[in-house]
Each structure stands twice: as C-alpha cells, then as structure tokens.
Amino acid sequence: MVDADRGSLFLVEGAAAGKKSLVSKFFDVHAGTPLLPCGSTENSSEVQVPWGKGIIGYVAEHGETVNIPDAYQDRRFNDEIDKLTGYKTKSLLCMPIRNSDGEIIGVAQAINKTPGGAPFSDDDEKVMQMYLPFCGIAISNAQLFAASRKEYDRSRALLEVVNDLFEEQTDLEKIVKKIMHRAQTLLKCERCSVLLLEDIESPVVKFTKSFELLSPKCSADTENSFKEGVEKSSSYSDWLINNSIAELVASTGLPVNISDAYQDPRFDAEADQIFGFHIRSVLCVPIWNSSHQIIGVAQVLNRLDGKPFDDADQRLFEAFVIFCGLGINNTIMYDQVKKSWAKQSVALDVLSYHATCSKAEVDKFKAANIPLVSELGIDDIHFDDFSLDVDAMITAALRMFMELGMVQKFKIDYETLCRWLLTVRKNYRMVLYHNWRHAFNVCQLMFAMLTTAGFQEILTEIEILALIVGCLCHDLDHRGTNNAFQAKSGSALAQLYGTSATLEHHHFNHAVMILQSEGHNIFANLSSKDYSDLMQLLKQSILATDLTLYFERRTEFFELVGKGGYDWNVKNHREIFRSMLMTACDLGAVTKPWEISRQAAELVTSEFFEQGDRERSELKLIPSAIFDRNRKDELPRLQLEWIDSICMPLYECLVKLNVKLKPMLDSVAKNRVLSVHFKRTLLQLAQR
C-alpha cells in the first residue's frame, strides 16, 4: 500500500515501564518472504529493542510518527539491524500501533520507498494511519486469544499436577521428582530444585533434604559442564542446602524473583564457576503445608528462551507450589503414619508375647480334670466370691462353657479356649477390685442367673455366648480409676476413645485384640453371619456395664416390666434385657451374703480412695466424698444411697420379670438392714 521494499513489526513486551521492550520475529519481511517465515517459530532468534532506544524505541515511547528520507542522517537511527541482516536502510516510515484503549502495543516500520528510493509521502502516512488501527484490533485479539489459551493450558497443567501429586503420596523422592518435572514443563526452565526444612517449628532455617533436576532441553554443552562440575566438587549438596536465597525465602515466606542474578548481591556467583552452570535468572518461592507452615522452598533457574521470569511465571509457580505443599505434606504425614504403624506393630508384638499365657499353662489346664458344677458351687446365686483361687477360677470358667453347651455348639477348640481364658486372666491388672476375680464373679453370677431363672430358654445360644464372654472381658485392662478420672486427667484412653464410656470401649477393644491374637480365636468356627452377630452382641454387653448407659435405659425397662408389656420377640426389648442382666451381674456383690458383700465393698472403697489420692496429688483436685478417705465416715450413708437408688430398683424389676431371682433381692434387702445397723454402730463408736 505504501510501496515499501521491506517492513518490520515490533510488539511491546513487559507490563512495567522499567521492564518494557520491543521484540520482533518479523524484522525483515519482503516480497519473497513466505506466509509463515522461519522467524515465527519458537526456536528462532529475535530482535529486541530497548524501550526508548533507536527510532523504533522513540516511536514506542512518544507515540509519534517518524518519516525519515535518509535514516543514516538521523541520530536516533540504530544500524544494528542493518548489520544483522546485511540490508541497507535509506528511507523509513515508522508508526505506533495502538489498541482500543489507546495504549501502544507495537510499532510498524516500512523501509525504503520503491522505486527509486524516494522518501515516503504524506499520502503514505495517511494510508498507514488508516491501516494500523485495524492491525491493532487484530493484534489485540490475537494476544487475548493467546493469553486465554495460555491460561487454559496452565489451568489444565495445574489439574494434571493435582492428579500427579495425589496419585503418588507414598514416596517422598518420587513425588518431589514429579514436582520438579512438572515445574520445568510449566515454566520451561533449565533447572529446578526443591529444598525441605529439617524442622518446620524451629526459628533457625536449616534444610535437610535437597532435590535437583536438569531439563533435558538444556544444551548438551550446558548439561555436560554442569554434570562435570557437580562430579568434581564435593560441596554441591552443601551449596544446595546452604543457598542464601532459599534461606531468605524460607525465613521470610516471601518469593524472590531475580531477573539478572549477577546484579543481585544475594546471589553466590562463585557457585556458577565451581559447578559450570551460568545462572541468569532465579525464581524461588516458599512451600507451605495445610497449616500454613513453611516446609521448604522450590526454585527454578533460567527460562529456556533466555528471558527472565515474569509476573505471570511467578503467579503460576506460586499456585503450582500450593499443590506441591499439600502433596509433600501428605507424603511426609504418610511416612510418619507408616513409622507409627510400624512402632505400634512392634509394640503389639512385644505386648502380645508378654501378655499371652505360656504353653506350659495351657497344657496344664488342657490335661486337668474339670470339677462338676455341684462340686464348684457355681450355679448358686449366693456363691462365695472369694472361695476359689486364681487357677480354680479358670477350671470353673471352663466348666461354665461346657455346661452351657457352648464348646460343642460352636465347635470351640478346647486348647484355644484354655489359652484364651488364661490370656484374659493375664490381661487384668493387679488392682484392688476391678481385677480377674471380679470378672470371674460377674461371669459366675450370669451363669447362675441363666441356669436358675431358665433364661436359657428365652435367649439364643449366640446371645448367651456373648453374655458369658462379655462378663469375663468387661473390665479388661482396668486401671483402678473410673471414666471421670480419665477425662479429668486427659489420659491417652480419653484422647483415644473420647469421654463417653471411655473404659468400656477400651475393654471391648482389648477383648478384640486378644481374640485376634494367634491361637486365641474361640469363635474361629462360627459362620460369617454368626461371627458378625456375636461381635455386635459382645460390644453391646461390655458397653452395657457403663452405669451412664444403665441410667439411660433403665426407665424404659422398668416401664415395660411394670406394664407387663415385655415382648421377647421385639429386638429392642431383648437388647435392654441383656443390658440389665450385665448391670445386675456387675453390681452383683451387693446380692451376696453380708460377709461376702462387705468384703467386696471394702475392696471397692480402697480402690476408690486410691483414685481420690491421685486426684488430690496429681490433678490438684478435691475428690468427691466416695473417693475421699478423709470423709470415710460418710461411707455408710453413701452405701445406703447406692443400694436405694441404683441396686434395689434393678433387682426388684428383675424379680417382677422372673420370681426365681427373688433370693438376690432378699440379700440386697438384708444387706441394706445390716448397713443401717453398721452405720449406727460406727456412730456409737464415734460418740464413745
């Protein structure tokens, strides 16, 4: 349109005034240039003109048209492009290109008017002035499309990053390598490194692990010299973890973007000489975990196109590193969990060895003659809780299993049963009351109630098995302190199970652990359904010994029995009944003859006093009356309240349900009378 021999197009790059420049891949377009010149490809060289320099820089800075008949006579003209192309510029018409907002986005240049080398005319200027606004629209649209395409590609790349990182969270080295590979792909850089902090809680920045990746797109010379430098130097790993720029980023939490490393005082130029790698630009950002703690830094060096990292690169890298932080943190946590699991596994293995019975003990009871029920007296509701020694209690428990037909019905291996009973005994601690003897006594009373009242005809065999096993296991690993103490002391048990039925959950889980130990599964021959049902019933039975649950459910039980509306075909009615049976057996010492009941009460009281002593010394609390040995004169009154509010209503209701249990209620009533008498005696003694 203007009869120019050649033309050039320069586009503005860089947002800030200090960073703007003019770049062209189309600086020598002529009649013989193909539609897609080699200059448009990514790998071709570019011509870059500083902002305000030369005629092109002047036009871009001032927005003026420049029409020169002889370029070499104008002091603003820079002949470097002529030298580069070998072409002689004479006349020159140069104009700015603006977008719809009036901003200069490029410069168009027409070179050498043809024919004859005359200068460009006023008409040529007018033609250019009319033509270039359309060029501005086209260029702006192309740039918007390219920017949106770039954002789309980057967003897609970030999604791929997320997929990569959360697909592999089991190996730290693998995930960091993926991170570095992705960083190089996203930012098109020569080198990437990740440095992880030794202690994220420490105010002193110290890196403990470093990872480095060189881009395969680096030139062969760069790659070889770098590898040779690393191999020759013994200090490369030390340099990585003592990188001053990385330390600055880790300590401040602020990214560092250096466009010219050698002009920055924070940069260690000596490292370049040692390792044979010339660093031009650096982008370093902190890596955060989900708790907003810095766990390391990620660093990229040298864009492949030779340009510094721009603001868009920094925003992308920071977004990318957010996902990296989550991935690294999850992997570290997974590693910690694995180590914790390994520690737990070892601990359980050790505990299992020390907490299980010996083969000699099993062989002894396996070969022993088991006395009959009548010889042991275990079918008596008024059985003497202190009549059997620890070994005799094992033989009596074996007799109960056999008498109830559970060994035959559920095909329980006899040796396994002996081993299981002995291990259960061994897993009760040597506390004053909640020990193996108490567990056996609760089981004995359950056996006596089942056989005396004929509950065997009402309950299923699975339910009976769950109740007997539940009684034997209901206080496993009891520590001699109650649920309230666990909560007040913030014990590991309270943290593990919460503050509701803390101990009861622990007793059940301990029972499961024993059952799962090798050679202890007495339920091994049950069908899958029976096993599942039994474990559910066992859990209900053990949790039922929490008095809080008893208070929650007893009103419904009392009302059902009082109205005569108990229906054994209703699942909920059966569950409540089993819960009440467990409580009745757990509190069963109060139903025994006075001397037995009093002896048990003394043991309970002593255990309570020990808890009170610990509350006073360890927790700095004043214990409630029942736990306070300094208020032991209040015990008779508390004992009466215990019988009247908790025990008596339960046994009265059970007798309404089955009159054969009346001897239990009679004993409770007698013990109440004797407690009153005992209280009066204590008062008289105190007065004397």
Q: What is the largest CA-CA distance in the chain?
A: 142
The dihedral sign for the CA sequence 304, 309, 313, 319: positive
Q: Is 662 exposed, middle or buried (0-12, 13-18, 19+ CB in 10 A)?
A: middle
| Catalytic, out of 382, 434, 438, 507 | 434
Inter-residue contact 181 to 327 (CB < 8 Å)? no
Q: What distance in Å separates the CA atoms of residue 640 and residue 481, rounded to the nearest whole number?
A: 22
Known active-site residue 510: no
Which residue shows structure tokens 């330390």?
Answer: 247
Helix axes 528-543, 502-516, angle to 10 degrees: 150
Q: Which of 576, 543, 551, 584 is nearest to 453 (CA)?
A: 584
The dihedral sign for the CA sequence 338, 339, 344, 345: positive
Q: Where are the alpha helices (DSSP H) in 404-527?
A: 406-409, 414-426, 436-453, 461-473, 483-489, 492-497, 502-516
Kindly report the backbone phi and psi dihedral angles of residue 363, in degrees, each rounded to the nearest multiple of 5, phi listed first.
-60, -40
DSSP string, 593-609: -HHHHHHHHHHHHHHHH
Return the exposure string of 457-484: e unless at least 16 CB atoms fall within 10 Å of the residue's CB, then b: eebeebbbbbbbbbbbbbbbbbebbbbe
Beta strands across the sheet bearing 256-258: 207-214, 189-197, 294-303, 282-288, 256-258
Kindly report the backbone phi and psi dihedral angles of residue 194, in degrees, each rounded to the nearest multiple of 5, phi listed first.
-130, 130
Helix (H, G, I), strand (E, B) or coil at 103: coil
The dihedral sign for the CA sequence 446, 452, 456, 459: negative
C-beta neighbour count of 33 within 10 angstroms = 14
Helix (H, G, I), strand (E, B) or coil at 530: helix
- How far, in Å, are 351, 352, 359, 520, 542 from residue 356 at the CA level? 8, 6, 9, 9, 21
Cα angle at 249 between 197 and 235, to 5 degrees? Answer: 60
- Catalytic residues, which ones? 434
